[in-house]
Amino acid sequence: MAKLNIVLFEPEIPSNTGNIGRTCAATDSRLHLIEPLGFKLNEKAIQRAGMDYWKELDVVRYINYQDFLDKNPGAKIYMATTKGKNVYTDVSYEPDCYIMFGKESGGIPEEILAHHRADCIRIPMAGESRSLNLANSVAIVLYEALRQNAFSHMKLEGSLTKFDDYIE
C-alpha cells in the first residue's frame, strides 16, 4: 500500500515534531526525520504533543540529507517553502510522494531548494507574514495530498455514540 511521506529537515522544536507525528499516525503517513534534531526523541514535549499516537508512528531517521537521498533513490519530493513559486494546491501529489519541510528557524536551505525549483510549493499568506507554524503547515499540505488521493484507506465518516437511536 502506498503511503504519503512527510520529511522534516533538521526539526528544532519537540512539540512541533510531536504534533506532526500524531498527524502522521492518524493519516497512516510515514514520518522521515533528517538529523541533526534540536531535541532528543524521548523528550517529554514530544510525548505530550504526540500523546499515545507515537507508538503507532512509522518513523525513519537519517543522519543527514545525503543519507535521506541515498536511502530513497528516485523519490518524488515536494519542497514546502515560502520561496516556492507553486501554490500547494496546484500540484498533483502522487500516492507515495515525499513532502519536505524545513527547520523552524530557517526552512530548507537554498542549496537544496535550487535542485528542486519546479517542485517547490508554498502556502499563500497575506502581507509580510514570515511563515506558519511547522505543524500547521504540515497538516495543511498533507490533507491536500490526502484529498487528492481520495483519502485512500481512511475512515470517511463517524457516528454519534450516545444518540444512535435519535431520529431528527
List residues forming the annotated binding site for S-adenosyl-L-methionine.
Answer: 102, 123, 131
Residues 6+ apart with CB under 8 A from 61: 32, 33, 34, 35
Nearest one of 29, 21, 27 to 47, comparing CA atoms? 21
Return the residue matching grid coordinates 537521498. Answer: 69
Q: How many CA atoms lie within 13 A of 42 on its CB side?
A: 0
Residues annotated within the binding site are 102, 123, 131
